[in-house]
Structure 1
Amino acid sequence: MSGKRYKIMIEASGSLAVGYLISNIQAAGHECIASDIDEESVGKLLADNFILMPLAGDPGLWQHAHDALTEMSIDIVIPSLDETLQGWAQRKQSYAQRGISVIVSDPDVVAICQDKWRTFQFFAEHGIPTAETSLTQDYPLVKPRTGRGGAGVQVTHKKVDMDGMISQEILSGTEYTIDIFCSAESQPEYIVPRRRINVRDGKSTAGVVEKHSGIEAWVRAICKRLRFIGPVNMQCFVLPDGSIKFVEINPRIAGGMALGFAATENWINLIVDNIIEGKPIVPRPIQDGLKMRRYYSEVFATSD
């Protein structure tokens, strides 16, 4: 564990899953600076400090971010918002020159992962098993090419305007989310498949870690072809015949990674020790069978 106390900024601190990230930053001995577009965000109460941010589409967003990072003396940024991820990726080198580390993969990697059509093309080109996908309405499952969670996803046989959309075969079987931590050298040091028991509004509310050598092998194959940095999240299905098909890559930290952290170690320490300070990672055994259940909790504050 690092002896230095870093100031670490996170995004979307009003999300229902943000508590685990804030608590892990603080448990690692660092200062958590929450940010959100809502000044009443729960992250403002849980974190050590708070930055009010403009909307993702605001033309003044990046100047505001620049000024806030400087004013708060931020050392590390851990992006988690899909709408700003590419912006952080494009600016990470310039921030690095100022001594600010942005934990995100390179822009070309982010671009492939954030466009579901390009993700499908990547899988197909490199022989990664994936769901059949089309730019026309060839399949009943229709979803936006870009976007997060289940927003805009529908199963329909009615005609849909396919501008900015894809259609995809509907997969049966068991759905897995895989939490992956990639080192500064883009090596997948942890691969944690977790079966999704319950999902609400695109967020995992219950899951269990299940070792699966087939999933792990394909994840390593993907990581050889895309150079990820830090936390990454993938989704796949294990079909009834035992075959595997990948459907999505999220090149960022994710809300359900609380289970990945708990099954291994605090990944904030990995970010600081390996990516920031260059120390080697010695992976711990993964707690296969570890289960997670989530519940609402309350934070109280006086009006002053």
Structure 2
Amino acid sequence: MTRSKDPVRRILITAAGTVTAQSLIKALRDDGRADFIAAGDMNELNATRAFSDAFVVLPPATQPEFATACLEAAHRLQIDLLVPLIVESEFLPLDDARARFEAIRCRVLLPPRTITERTGDKLNFARYLDELGIPGPQTAPYSPGMPVKRFPVYLKPRRGSGSVGTTRVDSLQSLHEAAQGRSDLIVQEAVEGTEFTVDCFAAEPGRVVAAVPRERIAIKAGVSVKGRTYHHPRIEAIVRNVVEASGLRGPANVQGMLRDDGSFSIIEMNPRFSGTLALTTAAGINFASLMIDMIEERHIADFSGRHRAGVVMMRYWSEVFEESDGRLRLGTQLRPSAQAIPAQPEGLPPKLEAEGRAEEGMVDPLAAPVAHESVDGGKRR
């Protein structure tokens, strides 16, 4: 059985094409304790190969073989810790496979299932905020005959992350037009103000040891490309209350709007590392270090208010080039290609392999090649 205090030296990160994965790998390199960092995604034409020691091609997280593929990669690479990054598609299937990862001595950074289900459902999360007495935007399930007293509002899918499927509407007619042919939607107040995300880390349930607010100055495709850190005791206290009340252990990012009257409305909470983790690291709090300390059951001090305020991030494009001999070039730096993982792995020990098929009710995914989808920024659809 895996012991929590076993050292974390070999790590596998999913959703490698995301900026979150790249930021986490950089933070792990800064920490220095992990001596092997592997990354996985659906397509090997992935710039994160230049940052990782091995790259694993994984099926889409929406496919039933996803958890087994992660398990096989973790077993083959002797991974100590698996870090999934996509809440809406990766967390639940991996949660179902917790015992199988435990059997190969691999820990998985996942919140309790109840937290995944609550935060992944915008309507349930809004009701949760109401129960806590925490201010949030007015939210209701969409119906064709619903009354809407004030516009603009956002029409959003009830489940999912970021701005995918979200439409801002300014009238009842445009609301109903935007909802045509769609189901399981919510209508949410369009809160005006300054958008903030707070990166949080709970060392244990009910004890947040870091809360770093940052203004999202400019956003592209749902990711902050310009940001600035702040000390804001009011925002930090509100977010701390929400995360501590949830019972989360590990990382989270909480998004909200600072209204002109000084109140802060929480819009969503994601129980994972944020896409702008790099800014929090640059401001002096390395969440990768906190993660390893937590998994190894080390004491974690309270870092509240110890980040540097006024640190500004400005992102830019860069390129990774692959030579014909497989070497990767990041800018002007030439390095060997990340270790290639065989397309047909040896598989798990027979007992675990049989258990996996029985649990998931599927044919052996190794019996035939898996068709891989193209990847756009690493997001699994």
Name the TM-score class by shorter chain.
over 0.9
Give the Å deviation of 1:136: 1.9
Secondary structure of 1:129's counterpart equals coil
The equivalent of 1:127 in structure 2 is 133
**Number of the residue aligned with 1:76:** 81
1:67 counterpart (65, 72, 96):
72
Matches within 5 A, 1:143-292: 143-156=156-169, 157=171, 158=174, 159=176, 160-161=179-180, 163-273=183-293, 275-284=294-303, 285-292=306-313
Contact 1:142-1:166 within 8 A present in 2 as well: yes
For 2:103 and 2:297, locate their aligned partners in 1 and report how far apart those are by CA, in whole Å. 17
Confirm or deny that 1:32 pairs with 2:32. no
Q: State the AA in 2 paired with 1:269.
A: S
CA contact (8 A) 1:90 1:107 kept: no
Residue-by-residue CA offset, 1:41-60 (whole Å, 9 max, x unaligned): 11122201111100112122
More deviation in 70-79 or 9-18? 9-18
Where 1:152 maps in the other structure, the secondary structure is coil
Q: Which runs of 5+ in 1 are unaligned?
A: none
Residue aligning to 1:54:
59
Distance 2:160 2:6 in 1: 38
> Counterparts of 2:223 and 2:117 in 1: how far apart (Å)?
23
Q: Decide whether the 8 Å contact of 2:252 with 2:269 is kept in 1.
A: yes
SS in 2 for 1:190: strand
The yes-or-no answer on 1:293 pairing with 2:314 is yes
Q: TM-score, normalised by structure 2?
A: 0.75
Secondary structure (helix, strand or coil) at the match of 2:276 reads helix
- Retained in 1: the 8 A contact 2:119–2:268? yes
Q: Is the 8 A contact 1:178 1:191 kept in 2?
A: yes
CA contact (8 A) 2:118 2:125 kept: yes
Does structure 2 conserve the Cα–Cα contact (< 8 Å) formed by 1:198 and 1:205? yes
Aligned to 2:46: 41
Q: Tell whether 2:87 aligns with 1:88.
A: no
- Using the size of structure 1 for normalisation, the TM-score is 0.93
What are the Cα deviations for residues 46-99 of structure 1, in whole angstroms up to 9, with x where unaligned? 201111100112122122222111111111111111311222334335523532
- Alpha-carbon distance, 1:131 to partner: 0.3
Contact 1:263–1:287 (CA under 8 A) maintained in structure 2: yes
Partner Cα separation in structure 2 for residue 6 and residue 269 of structure 1: 12
Contact 1:179 1:257 in 2 (8 A): yes
Gap runs ≥5 in structure 2: 326-381
Partners of 2:324 and 2:206 in 1: CA distance: 46
How far the C-alpha of 1:230 sits from its partner, in A, is 1.4
What SS does the corresponding residue of 1:141 show, helix, strand or coil?
Answer: strand
Instruction: Give yes or no for contact 1:35–1:43 (8 Å, CA) kept in 2.
Output: no
263-272 vs 12-21, which moves further: 12-21
Instruction: Say what the alpha-carbon RMSD is for the aligned residues.
Output: 1.9
Number of paired residues?
302
Q: Given residue 24 of structure 1, which amino acid in structure 2 is its aligned partner?
A: A
| Partner deviation per Cα, 1:171-222 (whole Å, 9 max, x = no partner) | 1111110000111345110000101100100001111111111111111221
Could you tell me which residue of structure 1 aligns to residue 367 of structure 2? none
Opposite residue 91 of structure 2, the aligned amino acid is: L
CA distance in 1, matches of 2:67, 2:301: 36
SS at match of 1:223: helix
Query: Partner of 2:26: helix, strand, or coil?
Result: helix
Matched position secondary structure for 2:299: coil
Indicate conservation of the 8 Å contact 1:172/1:239, yes or no: yes
**How far apart, in 2, do the equivalents of 1:182 and 1:286 lie?**
16
Structure 1: how far apart are the matches of 2:320 and 2:252? Answer: 29
1:13 aligns with 2:26: no
Instruction: Point out 4+ residue stretches in structure 1 off by more than 4 angstroms.
Output: 2-5
Q: Output the CA distance in 2 between the equivalents of 1:67 and 1:171.
A: 45
Name the structure 2 match of 1:117: 123
- Partner amino acid for 1:281? I
Identity over aligned pairs, percent:
29
1:136 pairs with 135, 142, 163, which one?
142
1:141, 1:170 within 8 Å by CA — same for their partners in 2? yes
Relative to structure 1, is the Cα distance of residues 225 and 94 closer, same or farther in structure 2, using a 3 angstrom cutoff? Answer: farther
Deviations, residues 84-119 of structure 1 (Å, cap 9, x unaligned): 122233433552353212112100011000110110
Deviations 1:214-240 (A, max 9, x none): 111111221232011211000111111
Alpha-carbon deviations, 1:18-58, whole Å to 9, x = none?
Answer: 33222222232212100000111111222011111001121
Is the partner of 1:265 in helix, strand or coil? coil
